[in-house]
Structure 1
Amino acid sequence: MDRRSFIKSCAFITGALSIDHQLLAQIASQFGQPRLKIGILSDVHIRHANQTDTLEKAFTYFRDNGVDGVMIAGDMADSGLERQLKWISETWYRVFPKNKAPDGRHVEKLFIYGNHDMEGQHYGDLADIVDKDERDALLKKESLVNDKAGFWKKYFKEKFQPIYIKEVKGYKFIGAHWGNQQHIAGMPEFLEAHRSELEGEKPFFYFQHPHPKNTCSGPWAWGQDNGESTKILSTFPNCIAFSGHSHTILNDEYTIWQGNFISVGTSSLSYTYARGGRENTYVDGDTQKVPAQMQVVKQSDGKQGMLMTIYDNYITLCRHEFVYGESLGKDWIIPLPLNRKEKTLSFDYRAAHATAPEFPAGSAVHITRASGKDRYGKEQMQTTVHFPNVLSLNANQRAYDFEIQVEMQDEDTNKIMLTKRVMSPHFYLGEGKDDNEVICVFGEEELPTYRSIRFAVRPVECFGKKGQAIYSEWNQYK
């Protein structure tokens, strides 16, 4: 079988072939000519005039890669102010004057308002933007929600519609502006009204700000809608939906989902979040005081987006970060048409076919002890477990996170006394920026007293499949 036949057969068997971006670039000609290219962003969160550099960098990346349009799935103006929308507009027209690339091709704006655009003036006190005594006048004059249609027309030079449909080189895009957290009024009726032109084997693309409920990023993703969008989109098997809001990282395989349609999270161009439940992560907005010996990993340089390329028989999604210019993982390849019986992008299917990551030969665990503070400032003796990261560069597959267990000797048994999960130091970036050792910290009160213990460390892939453990020496740490 030649390379072309192999690629084609693999894609149709598996439903989504992940492939290294550089290799994809080498064989892309075998996919035929691209029919359409779209840059995809969300959650830009421009607050000040000097914060548009990354946005301009992303626009330039898309321009230089030949896009026909750019999607921003909401949250452009962080405080919902006119001046912030103006800075977005100015950045766009610097890169795409008159909505054109240097070669003269038209580049379509596929933008929508998110919750920050409509409600951001109520988040925080705006103290870094305007003096308190000028706040009311500013909000009356500049709040986008006061004249969302007028500001849209002024800065994007097109009519505002709460839900709109645009055609880009024969492919339809439906953008639904923020309504509220629960739903977008009129969205099901809009899709029904356009059903005859949307149905069929040709894919169409829908985008809103919150995730359709129980789709991409899993059921635990915060900020999902009430499920109304999931219900109507499920009647369109040729739909690919994009959504932002949760800032979930693109190097999380849960970010793409398949049920009766495909749903893809768009991450964020401002900062990112990981799933909670790890020793060094948290859930945004969670008011519970979760015990943790480690600080939350700061992800302010997590600025992510995608380049989508549509071919006759495939759609590719290149996951990219815009600070260091690295790939966030193998490109997703989705075979067309989408209405296949087997849901090979579903979480269950991919979990069943996942390969466990493994530590490279010779990997070791070592332990240090010192006084330190937990996440909330309580000082105590801490035991730190050190071990190498697991990357595709050194082990053919990158670990999503790690499981660390405390094992205790008790007569003739070994008992598991405590289990933690931890992310690597720069899990949200490309592998080139995440090659340092990984640590997990245990507090003095968490470990058994005067017993021999050891630490078992296992790499875990995104859907939970675990590799073989490596172990520390047995010792008493008190």
Structure 2
Amino acid sequence: MRFAPLVIATASAALLVPTALAAPAPVPATAGPATPAPPAVDKPGGRYEHGVRLAFRAERGAVVRYTLDGTTPTRHSRLYVPGVPVRITQDTNVTAVAFRGGRASVPVSRGYLVRSAEKPVARVVVMSDVHIGDYAKNTGKWASFFDTIGSVFPRPDAILSNGDMINDNGDGKGPDHAVVARIFQENLRRKGMTGTQVLLSNGNHDDSLAQIRAHYPKAWFPDAGGGFYESSVGGVPLLTLNTETYNSSTEQQNWLKKRMAELTAKSPNTPVLVQGHRPASNTVMDGQQAANPKLTADLSAFPQAVFFSGHSHLNLNDDRSVHQKDFTAVNDGSMSYVEMDHGYQAVTEEGLANRFESPTSQALFVEVYKDRTEIARVNMAADKHDIYTGGKWSADWQPPYASAGTLSGRSWTVRLKGRTAQQIKDNFTYTAAHRNTTAPVFTGRRPLSAVRDAKGGTALRIAQARDDQMVHHYRVDVTDETTGAKALSSKVLAEYYYAPLPNSLDVPLPAAAPGTRYAARVTAVDAYGNASAEVSMKFRR
């Protein structure tokens, strides 16, 4: 994920040069005497109240190259000069690789959030869809997650778990809430977060309100019977909704409107945090997997509302995860696995697959200041890993996670500027009128090449295009020039949900026949549909 726009050279828009099939690029080895160890980084990732000066250390005979844009370093990336620190002055993902001869170490990535010494009114971690069931499978995983939380907020004022703590599907798994409570309590004690509030909402996989009440401390879910309640975090009001019943619950609707009116009349430029499991209609991620149109209507009178929702598992890398029109809506991501828009394919070890899930875990780190709310997007785990292994679901991958604490995008800033509700709305930033219009750009002279894949087949290698936010997918068409038949026509995900971002994609062409001449055409597309100039290449299998 890139955190600042780049000045990029013009792409090569029509590469029609016949290309011989190349061997696959060497994959960084993980073992062997000639393979350098990963470089050491002298400062851990996390939140800092000042700029950071970094030093790397590699073993004898190796050099370190690094990137500051979330991509994987190559032999052409910036060279680290020992004794000359790398200065970090804004939110940045730093990735370093040690090179020795023709060998490269595995990459090391760290995420740095750079803030001032100004103290926020409240620090809140917002997560959802943790889906814990088995204690043994989740102890190591959640120890890592809490370590990451502690690296950003050593003592958060609150942790919001916004629904779907367990994975009940009407099959009697309500007692699994006790497992969640045990894991959370153990880690809160281990990290010294004894003053941190935990506040839960009800999700569609949480069995019942009775089961939630039965297995957590009362302070974690202090509802009065309907699954909705009011709290205060550092003096900032927090309203928890039961989105499973909101559309049909007149009592809950009246309560929300009444409390919002009272709170905003008292302090019209102070945010009111609202959490509810399901997204509100016509808000985040272009309305995908949303519900409760009545909630959208009821919050429309209150631009002070910052509504956090989960349920969809849709990733936080995508800037459609924040939406402003009449209020601010924010997608929480997921702590179990994330999803992308349906209708795309992903490159996996087994070839192209109709994949819309990745075993990536993400959360929000929210800082409320007197004049703004800062929302950081943080990966708990985003190493490259397929969610299926041997055809079986494998979301329970275990630590260590090399990507823990990396950033999945630049922070969002919510300001409530204006004397009236309409003035506040007019000053919103993340609106439809401000949607990104910058298209991705291919860099380098030859963004496409044909290679042999690990199985001896043919693959089209796409050097990742660059974008001011992220490339979402590639439109890939490969045609047999003799017959005009399609060897491949697909929309391939750009792997933006991994950290670090892979430098290229090897898209397999299973139908490629020896001696056949092919024409490949590729377009890079961002999350808003902005498309690059098409790049082309001809090659012989």
Same fold (TM > 0.5): yes
- Check the 8 A contact 1:254/1:347 in 2, yes or no: no
Higher relative strand content? 2
C-alpha change, 1:185 and 1:335, in structure 2 (3 Å) is same
Candidates 361, 365, 386, aligned match of 1:307: 365
Q: CA deviation at 1:307?
A: 0.6
* Alignment partner, residue 286 of structure 1: none
Candidates 141, 144, 158, aligned match of 1:69: 158
* Alignment partner, residue 83 of structure 1: 175
C-alpha change, 1:416 and 1:306, in structure 2 (3 Å) is same
Distance 1:359 1:25 in 2: 27
Candidates 307, 325, 328, aligned match of 1:259: 325
Corresponding residue SS for 1:294: strand
Corresponding residue SS for 1:186: helix
C-alpha change, 1:115 and 1:358, in structure 2 (3 Å) is same
C-alpha change, 1:246 and 1:87, in structure 2 (3 Å) is same
Corresponding residue SS for 1:400: strand
Q: How does 1:27-176 map to 2 (within 5 A)?
A: 28-29=115-116, 32-50=118-136, 51-64=138-151, 65=153, 66-79=155-168, 81-97=173-189, 102=192, 106-118=195-207, 144=208, 147-153=211-217, 156=220, 158=222, 161=225, 162-176=227-241
Q: Deviations over 1:362-390 (max 9, x none)?
A: 34312358999xxxxxxxx9964221223
C-alpha change, 1:385 and 1:171, in structure 2 (3 Å) is same
Runs of 4+ in 1 over 6 A off after TM superposition: 22-26, 369-372, 407-410, 414-418
Give the TM-score taking structure 2 as reference length.
0.64
1:399 aligns with 2:471: yes
Of the structure 1 ranges 71-80 and 227-236, higher mean CA displacement relative to structure 2 is found in 71-80
Candidates 324, 330, 345, aligned match of 2:430: 345
Q: Deviations over 1:98-122 (max 9, x none)?
A: xx97386x3121211211102xxxx
Distance 1:101 1:91 in 2: 12
Give the TM-score taking structure 1 as reference length.
0.72
Distance 1:103 1:84 in 2: 23
Q: CA deviation at 1:201?
A: 1.4
C-alpha change, 1:20 and 1:208, in structure 2 (3 Å) is same
- Check the 8 A contact 2:270/2:370 in 1, yes or no: no
Q: How does 1:439-458 map to 2 (within 5 A)?
A: 439-441=506-508, 444=511, 454-458=519-523
Corresponding residue SS for 2:337: coil
RCO greater where, 1 or 2, for CA within 8 Å and sep 6 or more? 2
* Alignment partner, residue 423 of structure 1: 493
Of the structure 1 ranges 240-249 and 182-191, higher mean CA displacement relative to structure 2 is found in 182-191
Corresponding residue SS for 1:307: strand
- Matching residue's letter, 2:439: A
Distance 1:103 1:369 in 2: 52
Corresponding residue SS for 1:420: strand
Of the structure 1 ranges 241-250 and 314-323, higher mean CA displacement relative to structure 2 is found in 314-323
C-alpha change, 1:346 and 1:439, in structure 2 (3 Å) is farther
C-alpha change, 1:278 and 1:382, in structure 2 (3 Å) is farther
- Check the 8 A contact 2:280/2:291 in 1, yes or no: yes
Corresponding residue SS for 2:205: helix
* Alignment partner, residue 225 of structure 1: 291
Corresponding residue SS for 2:145: helix
Candidates 171, 178, 194, aligned match of 2:259: 194
C-alpha change, 1:335 and 1:157, in structure 2 (3 Å) is closer
Q: Deviations over 1:170-201 (max 9, x none)?
A: 21111113535965563321112213332211
Distance 1:382 1:315 in 2: 51
C-alpha change, 1:382 and 1:185, in structure 2 (3 Å) is farther
Q: How does 1:273-422 map to 2 (within 5 A)?
A: 273-280=339-346, 294-297=352-355, 299-323=357-381, 324-325=403-404, 326-337=406-417, 339-351=424-436, 354-367=437-450, 384-390=459-465, 398-406=470-478, 420-422=490-492
RMSD (Å), alpha carbons: 3.8
Task: Structure 2: give runs of 5+ residues left out of the alignment.
Answer: 1-89, 95-110, 382-402, 419-423
C-alpha change, 1:103 and 1:402, in structure 2 (3 Å) is closer
Number of positions where the alignment pairs a residue of Structure 1 with one of Structure 2: 397
Distance 1:266 1:44 in 2: 11
- Matching residue's letter, 1:94: E
* Alignment partner, residue 504 of structure 2: 437
Task: Structure 1: give runs of 5+ residues left out of the alignment.
Answer: 1-18, 119-143, 282-292, 373-380
Of the structure 1 ranges 313-322 and 50-59, higher mean CA displacement relative to structure 2 is found in 50-59
Higher relative helix content? 1
C-alpha change, 1:307 and 1:401, in structure 2 (3 Å) is same
- Matching residue's letter, 2:504: E
C-alpha change, 1:92 and 1:417, in structure 2 (3 Å) is closer
